[in-house]
Amino acid sequence: MHDLATDPPTALLIDHIRNRYHDMYRRDLPSLIALARKVETAHATDPATPHGLTHALEAMIADHEAHARSEEVLVLDALRTWRAGHAADAVLRLRKEHDRQEAALNRIAAITHGFRLPRHACESWRRLYAGLGRLVEDLDEHLDLENEILFPRLEEMRG
């Protein structure tokens, strides 16, 4: 799983999530979008081409940026003010946003035919799918950290 699963202090966990995941998505998603655009353009007539992937990734980056901003504000505000009702509302909203992120990954998996490369895939196509594989792994780990460790801590603030 991850090193931070051994009950880290909440502030350290939040910093790790922001620095490891939020910043990484902001850095890596634009290059995946560029690769997707290149592959879709270069292989436009190939039936194996992941048509619509560029658009799906652009939607994902916009959704993720809005989610990361709201998460950083909502979680930090809930911890700073320690208001039980606010924490519960924040967690409910963020869990719904996580559901949208998982749905976006499912759309991307469908567009890419389960991330299966055709035998004739060029190097850009291979780099794109390798990057998408890392993105999926990182997002799964990120969501697990929040859903299984961070959010339950916030939900405990209800009492």
The one-digit pLDDT tens for each residue of the chain (159 residues) are 445 456 778 778 888 888 888 888 888 999 999 999 999 999 999 999 999 999 999 999 888 888 888 777 777 666 666 555 666 777 888 889 899 999 999 999 999 999 999 999 999 999 999 999 999 999 999 999 888 988 888 777 655
Please tell me the predicted confidence (pLDDT) of residue 76: 64
The DSSP secondary-structure symbol of 159 reads: -
Q: 79: part of which helix (H) or strand (E)?
A: helix 53-81
Please tell me the predicted confidence (pLDDT) of residue 129: 98
Residue for token pair 């759309």? 107
Please tell me the predicted confidence (pLDDT) of residue 82: 58
Q: Are 26 and 142 in contact (CB under 8 A)?
A: no
Name which of 92, 91, 88, 89 is nearest 158 in CA terms.
88
Q: Taken in order 35, 129, 67, 22, is the CA torsion positive or negative? A: negative
Supply angle C-alpha 111, 112, 116, rounded to 5.
155
Distance, in Å, from the CA atom of 48 to the CA atom of 60, rounded to the nearest integer, reads 22
Distance, in Å, from the CA atom of 129 to the CA atom of 116, rounded to the nearest integer, reads 8
- Tell me phi and psi for residue 7, to 5 degrees: 60, 60
